[in-house]
Amino acid sequence: MTVLILTSEQDVTADMVVARLHEWCVPVMRLDPADLPGKAVLSADYAHGDFDGHLSVNGHVLSMGGLRSVWVRRPGEPAAHAAHPSPWLTAETRQALYGMLYSASTRWMNHPRNAEQARYKPWQLRIAHLSGFAVPPTVVTTAPRLAQQFAEEHREVVVKSASGPPPGDPALALPTTLVDPGADFSAVAAGPALLQRYIPKRADIRLTSVGTRLFAARKRASFGQIDGRYGDTGHSWRSAGVPDRIAKSVHEYLALSGLAYAAFDFAEDEEGLWWFLECNQGGQFGFVELETGQPIAEAVARWLAQRTRDRRTPDGLR
């Protein structure tokens, strides 16, 4: 039974997980969907009410019946490395590859269907509510008057991007930024803004969940620092305990969203309360492992290596 890792060639985080799987003699196939068709060959058979499929990379063959789990790490776009790439070839190749993998009975970290919905930040806030997390009051709006009202009511307000930084090369950094309540909000009419009450924090918390295992790390904030992802605080990530109430909410969130892996960001306020900021289903863990020594790569490898129960139906069904 083989673990399939979908990622690009340069991926040191995947390397860490592959090293563990090799130690345990668990067969691994690493595939960048960009290399299909080309380096990789695929074939899926639907006949007589049954299904089988094969993936072949560098002479190694993986049968869908022997698929233990799939880790969707940093996959390239299907057919991106083809001799004659085109949007249509990408669409056809995506259908062939993911259509075949969706047909298999296997475990996903994370199933693309669940990952896709989990990327919606407003939805994250709602699921966080339902899971019992403390969530800073937030508004997502294209109405300048409502943005203004929100800023006046909450005084200290940050503005964030919902979808991430604007595309571009080099990538634009877009740190979360404090907004002056007297600011001119008229531009909100031209593009939605996500405004959130600023939580004065004494630390950033990164909680990485792998299956049911939770790894919390804490980094003390510098005075006046808004976005823990940018700038040097002079502090480093240290392992932290996970309060019971938080663990319960994390498990609830994972159940509601169908995620096997997630990286949660919290702000720890002056009273020690953890405020939910976001949950990144594909969040990095390499830097946390490096600074804290927490065995996250091993936990990922362990989750991937688990034996699949025999099941009749593909995963990711409703």
List 94, 202, 220, 235, residue binding a copy of itself (CB under 8 A): 94
25 binds a copy of itself (CB under 8 A): no
List 21, 79, 157, 304, residue binding a copy of itself (CB under 8 A): 79
The whole-angstrom separation of Cα 169 and Cα 119 is 22
Residue with tokens 């979808």: 163
Please, what is the minimum distance in Å from the beta carbon of residue 106 to a copy of itself?
12
List 7, 69, 93, 294, residue binding a copy of itself (CB under 8 A): 93
Please, what is the minimum distance in Å from the beta carbon of residue 130 to a copy of itself?
6
Q: Which of 295, 226, 276 is nearest to 121 (CA)?
A: 276
CA 318 to each of CA 16, 112, 114, 153, 254: distance values in angstroms, whole numbers, following the listed order: 33, 13, 10, 41, 15
161 binds a copy of itself (CB under 8 A): yes
List 11, 27, 66, 89, residue binding a copy of itself (CB under 8 A): 89
Residue closer to a copy of itself (CB basis): 19 or 130: 130
Q: Please give the residues from 231 up to 290 whose contact with a copy of itself meets the rule CB under 8 A.
A: 255-258
List 58, 95, 212, 222, residue binding a copy of itself (CB under 8 A): 95
- Side chain identity, residue 116: E
309 binds a copy of itself (CB under 8 A): no
Please, what is the minimum distance in Å from the beta carbon of residue 221 to a copy of itself?
23
CA 67 to chain centre: 22
Peptide bond into 37 cis (omega under 30): yes
Q: Please give the residues from 196 up to 235 whose contact with a copy of itself meets the rule CB under 8 A.
A: none
Beta-carbon contacts of 43 under 8 Å, excluding residues fewer than 6 positions away, are 53, 54
Stretch that binds a copy of itself, among 27-35, 129-137, 285-293, 299-307 (CB under 8 A): 129-137
List 10, 12, 49, 272, residue binding a copy of itself (CB under 8 A): 49
- 233-260 as b/e: b if 16+ CB within 10 A: eeeebeebebeeebbebbebbbeebbbb
CB atoms within 10 A of CB 225: 17
47 binds a copy of itself (CB under 8 A): yes
Residue closer to a copy of itself (CB basis): 92 or 291: 92
173 binds a copy of itself (CB under 8 A): no
Token pair recorded at residue 214: 């939770």
Stretch that binds a copy of itself, among 131-139, 233-241, 264-272, 282-290 (CB under 8 A): 131-139
List 1, 189, 226, 273, residue binding a copy of itself (CB under 8 A): 189
17 binds a copy of itself (CB under 8 A): no
Residue closer to a copy of itself (CB basis): 139 or 301: 139
Residue closer to a copy of itself (CB basis): 19 or 255: 255
Beta-carbon contacts of 47 under 8 Å, excluding residues fewer than 6 positions away, are none
80 binds a copy of itself (CB under 8 A): no
Peptide bond into 110 cis (omega under 30): yes
Q: Are 186 and 144 in contact (CB under 8 A)?
A: yes
Rounded to 10 deg, the angle between the 296-305 and 12-23 helix axes is: 60
Please, what is the minimum distance in Å from the beta carbon of residue 151 to a copy of itself?
14
The whole-angstrom separation of Cα 206 and Cα 318 is 30
